[in-house]
Chains A and B, each alone.
Chain A
Amino acid sequence: MDTRVKVGGLELKNPVILASGTAGYGVELSPFLDLSRVGGLVVKGLYPYERMGNPPPRVWETPCGLLNTIGLQGVGMKRFAQEYLPRLESYDTSIIVNACGEEDEEYLQVVDYLQEFDRVDAFELNLSCPNVREGGRCPAMWPDWSYRIVRGARSITKKPIWAKLTPNTSALVEVASACKEAGADAVSLVNTYLAMAVDFRTRKSRLSTLFAGLSGPAIKPLALRAVYTVASSVDVDVVGIGGITTGEDLLEFMLVGAKAVQIGSATLREPTAALRILEEAVSLLRQEGYNNFSEIIGRFEGV
């Protein structure tokens, strides 16, 4: 079966992408899974500099998912380019750099620095990073703020730009629309849902921060709605993310309009999840008489 898909300025060999934050910089997963078999890899979020992230405890399991407050620990753009990018050279897959910033300027520094490297195929602007000056709020909560960052990146690079959106906003559609208008080639959604875990005995948070991000199958129905809402009202490519653990999950996201999907938390419980999900989706499509993924994208028929 022809598994290729076109999404956000890229042609991927298949619609299964490893999501940022659950695949490290790719090389950590390579003992388990041949990176050349996935459609793409979004590397762990990169700032212009190295970051320590949040203190422990950083994770807490929830029903069918988990909360995390890693706090975007990372090696920074320079060490990534020197130490990791060369090791990704030999894999035949799209490399997408997840760019972060505590301030708007920092996103642009990451794009500016890493666009020089041929092995970087596209950027995913993580518009869900807590912003220092804005008391931890993130750009993707507001259309105008998202617009400014995407616009800035667009003026720097010709490589495809995706904007990764937070569901923690009442303006999701407006934000997606602003990203498109600013020149984004795709929006990827959703990032984690803000949530919390409380320890009754100590009367404190289970984690080192008050709020943390919820991911995993627990959020799948919420993510599906978010993807449907954006895909059906904004003329922009959507990359679906949120609790996908099976091939059928993947096809549901594509039906409501996603042109590709990202696999996140599933990798944590099954390092080879992305490949299994792809195989399951392909065999389901075949069983139902489809010839490729394009035949189901956006073909949801409602109630």
Chain B
Amino acid sequence: MNMDLMTVDNLDFYYGSHRALKAVNMPVVKNAITSLIGPSGCGKTTLLRCFNRMHDLYPGNRYEGAITMRGVNILSKQEDLISLRSRLGMVFQKPTPFPMSVFDNIAYGPRLRKVKNKNILQERVEKALRQAALWDEVKDRLNDNAAGLSGGQQQRLVIARTLAVEPEVILFDESTSALDPISTQKIEELMVELKKDVTILAVTHNMQQAARVSDFTALMYLGELIEYGDTKTIFTRPKHKMTEEYVSGHFG
């Protein structure tokens, strides 16, 4: 049942000459939530951004090693980034609604893929908003500017926008750190709900969040993967001394 969708294989990442990831190895289990935790600057976000090749937007970045998905190394030069990024969606730290209506925000991805038919677009938008548990709140204001939504709603809008592209994987980059507890809880519930359809990889500063929602947890420190395992094991009897100290709040 626990099938690996992706495997990170001896991954090194360099910002110019700075080696930010050091020989990282870990699986990403399909239809599960994997959390990346660790103190600031440990490389967890850097690792996350390797999966959808966000680092390619900036010059001087270099990958070594592989992230394999269905036998293909997605870090290879031949990989088509546009298609890769539609398979691996990303939700950022702060909500990033585009300066357009709620509807146009969600329809952005499908429109990029040349979906022009009004009815199909309408269906896709509704489906994505329902999946993101936002439909009831915005169904009467689809044509309002997305900037008018609350922070938590905006973040669910961004999730819906990502879902409208129908990705296999969603990468969450500290996606609840800018939200209030109620919105955070909604997003967490949503993540658990979404497991049915997608595989989730989430970076979080909030250890409790990793404990609450994730099935697997990886602890990173100074660019290295210290320990990867079942979340229950990581939080009750970790193998590594450093994990023990980190999850009990003694460092980081």
A binds B: no
Chain B positions within 8 Å of A, measured between CB atoms, are: none
Chain A positions within 8 Å of B, measured between CB atoms, are: none
